[in-house]
Amino acid sequence: MSQRRKLRVGVIFGGRSGEHEVSLRSAESIIRSLDPSKYEVVPIAITHKGRWLSSQNAMAMLSAGEAIEATLTRGEPMAILPEPRQDGPVDVFFPIVHGTYGEDGTIQGLLELAGVPYVGAGVLGSAVGMDKDVMKRLLREAGLPVGDFWVTRAKDIDTFIQEFSAELPYPVFVKPANLGSSVGITKARNASELPKSLAIAAEFDRKILVEKGTDAREIELSVLGNDDPKASIPGEIIPSRDFYDYQAKYISDDSRLLIPAPLSEEEVREAQALAVRVFQALECSGLARVDLFLDKQTGKFLVNEINTLPGFTSISMYPKLWEASGLSYSDLLDRLIALAMERHSEKKKLRTKV
């Protein structure tokens, strides 16, 4: 009996984003955990300058980071979606490019044009999930609970300060509208701190979100599936700093992750149902992490945001929540790949000609 051929999985990582380093760490965990008896990994890296690398060059960047980018990118540029010719095509792609130019529908659009299966949300779900302004407006239209927020453009910061700085319900959180991993987020406690916060956010995005601060517990859930998604048990984040910023997420070891979150059975069911509704309202598929606030005064949940390509590092909440729900890291990867193949198979049946 002939041995079944391994699936060739193209893991795409890096990218032109403020979350580049987080992507490298996520890819490292995924590549290390994909079952070698089932999969052959094809590493595909995107440098901070946007150059695509594959195979040995990609692995070299994964281990050494951007310090060797200049060495790796000399000579002929790599093709988009590079593949080792002698080994045949990639069967399914696993894009783990967090943030802009990766999580925002751009890579998803490329993979759609190429007609290949890939893990995660499609173009629409990825794009609206990344844009926190559009995301919150769609959720509000769907009748889901969203906190108060304001939006401005980088070029209109001075006007926004003149019109709103005295009226905002401080403290407020100021963040780039299209970024994740808490990059560029600051807390403005009063009107005098607002200009600096807006300027920091404007370094990362043209559109800036200002959110009303809430005295709340931070509850997160992992969602998995396509048309019939399921939510994990909830987890709770108790940050080591004033709020769960980039430092608290990826550098400091002092933040506490409570899995499961200390919630009542009714609160668990409510959080899970809300996470699934968010996932479906934004046309997501494959995976997402939904972040909620549990208001300490009202006891009500608010939707903070969704992450359609959440962190996959060894300490990331998405895989840890599924592990606590009974699904191991390697089994989770199997399921995500199966969901990608399933969705692609269904789309191939659709007519493209009249």
Catalytic pick among 255, 307, 316, 325: 307
Catalytic pick among 23, 181, 222, 285: 181
Catalytic pick among 244, 246, 250, 318: 250
Question: Which element (helix H / strand E) includes 32?
Answer: helix 20-33
The CA angle 141-336-178, to the nearest 5 degrees, is: 40
346 is catalytic: no
175 bridge partner residues: 209
331 is catalytic: no
Catalytic pick among 104, 131, 211, 305: 305
289 is catalytic: yes
* Whether the Cβ atoms of residue 133 and residue 153 lie closer than 8 Å to each other: no
Catalytic pick among 8, 17, 19, 205: 19
Catalytic pick among 25, 217, 277, 289: 289
307 is catalytic: yes
Catalytic pick among 291, 304, 318, 325: 291
* Whether the Cβ atoms of residue 221 and residue 289 lie closer than 8 Å to each other: yes
β-strands 92-95, 7-14: how paired?
parallel
Catalytic pick among 197, 311, 325, 329: 311
Residue 112 CB neighbours (<10 A)? 15
E strands, the chain, in order: 7-14, 39-46, 52-54, 92-95, 149-153, 172-176, 186-188, 207-212, 216-225, 230-231, 235-238, 256-258, 286-295, 301-307
In angstroms, what CA-CA distances link 56 with 53, 64, 296?
Answer: 8, 12, 51
Instruction: Please give the positions annotated as active site.
Output: 19, 181, 250, 289, 291, 305, 307, 311
